[in-house]
Amino acid sequence: MTKTNYAKLTGGLIAAWFAFSLTASALHLFNTDPSRPPLALLLSVLVPLTAFFTWYGSSKPFREFVLSLNPRTVTLIHSWRVVGYTFLVLYTYHILPGIFALPAGWGDIAIGATAPFVAFKLANPNHRTSFIVWQLLGMTDLVLAISLGALSRFIVTESASAISTAPMSVLPLSLIPTFGVPLLLILHIISIAQARRWPAQSAGREERVASFAR
């Protein structure tokens, strides 16, 4: 399968994934009793990640396609995370609990605001370590948000007992944990995998130039 075919297939799968998340949310399939763990939402994150790792590990052509993606473009996609300010707004109006909304909101804003700089200044072999560190910070933000969202159901305080993360299980917010979060985690993973190959690729180019000079 050619790179173009993989691009079309991947695009089609992402579109189908989004359609499923949208439909399942509309049918309230992600709703969970507040006293129980949000297993449906957690599965919506874990299943796509597992599918990606399985495909990436078992298919060399797919792996080569993934690693051939432009790291600047992949990183720049994270810019849209500045909309994390929405969490802060929902916290202000007592729709989401602060234990979840504040770290998730500020974390997304920080990653989204710095994404353009990272994409155009750090996405190269000369800044490999800084690039990887930023990707890890982006992953930490997402994992922390999911973890706090799940744990907040069991952390009851006098001032926040009436506020839960239940709105995250219905449209339009449900598209964030069921589609946005796992997709962004996959993009971070791809960027790190690309960066880990940069030194060898750079060395290879230097050797070819030296060989040509001789």
pLDDT at 17 over 90: yes
- Residue 51 has which token pair? 């599918």
Sequence spans of domains, the chain: 3-204
Q: What are phi and psi of 36, to 5 degrees?
A: -120, 155
Residue with tokens 């839960």, as numbered in its chain: 164
The pLDDT of residue 161 is 52
37 pLDDT tier (thresholds 50, 70, 90)? confident
The pLDDT of residue 151 is 84
The pLDDT of residue 208 is 40
Cβ atoms within 10 Å of 91's Cβ, excluding its own: 19
For residue range 155-181, list pLDDT tens digits in order: 754 444 568 888 999 999 999 999 999
Cβ burial of 15 (10 Å; 0-12, 13-18, 19+) is: exposed
Average pLDDT for 56-60: 95
The pLDDT of residue 62 is 95
How far apart are the C-alpha atoms of 145 and 142, rounded to whole Å?
5
Which pTM does this prediction carry?
0.89
211 pLDDT tier (thresholds 50, 70, 90)? very low
Angle of CA points 11, 14, 15, to nearest 5°: 85
pLDDT at 209 over 80: no
Average pLDDT for 86-113: 96
Cβ burial of 149 (10 Å; 0-12, 13-18, 19+) is: buried
